[in-house]
Structure 1
Amino acid sequence: MNLEMQRFKAEFFKALAHPLRIRILEILAEGEKSVNEIQTLAGSEGSAVSQQLQVLRAKNIVTGTKDGNKVIYTLKDSMIIDLLAVARQIFNNHLVNTITILDKFKEEEEVPAVTPKN
């Protein structure tokens, strides 16, 4: 893979590296929304939402279209929805592995220790 592609991927993932940005993308995965709708659904302040939308716009991850006095945001590429689904699957896989390890530790603690006879 060439260096430009690696740089693109690194910058792309940096743009996603914020919980509110991820939440905004999850909201936009459901369809286009105004800033006020995103703010309400995200449960966050308008200034924080606007700031994160600006980052996503600068990286061409979302687009904004003027509609009267408001801006309607959409995902630039619907593949973002797939990416979020894959990230959720990876998280679930990690969670399952962690639970399995914890269950094994719990089983080891429940086994009574055998004391040698003298």
Structure 2
Amino acid sequence: MSVVAALDNARSELFRALGHPVRVRVLELLHDGPKTVRHLLEATALEGSGLSHQLAVLRGTGLVVARRDGNTVEYSLGAAEVAALLLAAREVVAGLAAGQGQLLAELRVEHTW
């Protein structure tokens, strides 16, 4: 596999990991600092197995890392750039939403019957 293909694969896996609302929510929760599994369970209202699966996907891409302290597992963002990625995603979504709002306003003005 070429370097370009490997990079394309890595980016694709990153975006695939970001393609689930629960995983995005977990990343947002971790943006404020490390959280225990218990806290993540309470905040996401998932069952343990469901959260475990989502965390495994995030760990697999390196977006989150786990640290065990006795019986407690604590998760945190895998790199500071993940926080920047979340912020960039918010800005893109906000910009798209604003653009859609403008388009709807223009359609209403043009098509007043």
State which drifts further: 26-35 or 60-69. 60-69
The answer to whether 1:104 aligns with 2:84 is no
Given that 1:33 and 1:73 are in contact with CA atoms closer than 8 Å, whether structure 2 keeps it comes out as yes
Deviations along 1:55-102, whole A, 9 cap, x unmatched? 111222211111111101111101111101111111111111111111
Name the structure 1 match of 2:32.
Answer: 30
Residue type matched to 1:31 in 2? G
Name the structure 1 match of 2:44.
Answer: 42
Which whole-Å CA distance do the structure 1 matches of 2:63 and 2:39 have between them?
18
Equivalent of 2:19 in 17, 41, 63: 17
Given that 1:66 and 1:72 are in contact with CA atoms closer than 8 Å, whether structure 2 keeps it comes out as yes
Residue 106 of structure 1 and its aligned partner are, at CA, apart by: 1.1
Equivalent of 1:85 in 84, 87, 90: 87
Equivalent of 2:54 in 44, 52, 66: 52
Bigger radius of gyration among the two: 1
Residue 51 of structure 1 and its aligned partner are, at CA, apart by: 1.1
Name the structure 2 match of 1:7.
Answer: 9
Given that 1:36 and 1:46 are in contact with CA atoms closer than 8 Å, whether structure 2 keeps it comes out as no
Given that 1:61 and 1:75 are in contact with CA atoms closer than 8 Å, whether structure 2 keeps it comes out as yes
Name the structure 1 match of 2:72.
Answer: 70
Which whole-Å CA distance do the structure 2 matches of 1:3 and 1:59 have between them?
17
> Any unmatched runs of 5+ in structure 1?
113-118
- TM (norm. structure 1) is 0.86
Runs of 4+ with >3 A deviation: none
Which whole-Å CA distance do the structure 2 matches of 1:17 and 1:94 have between them?
17
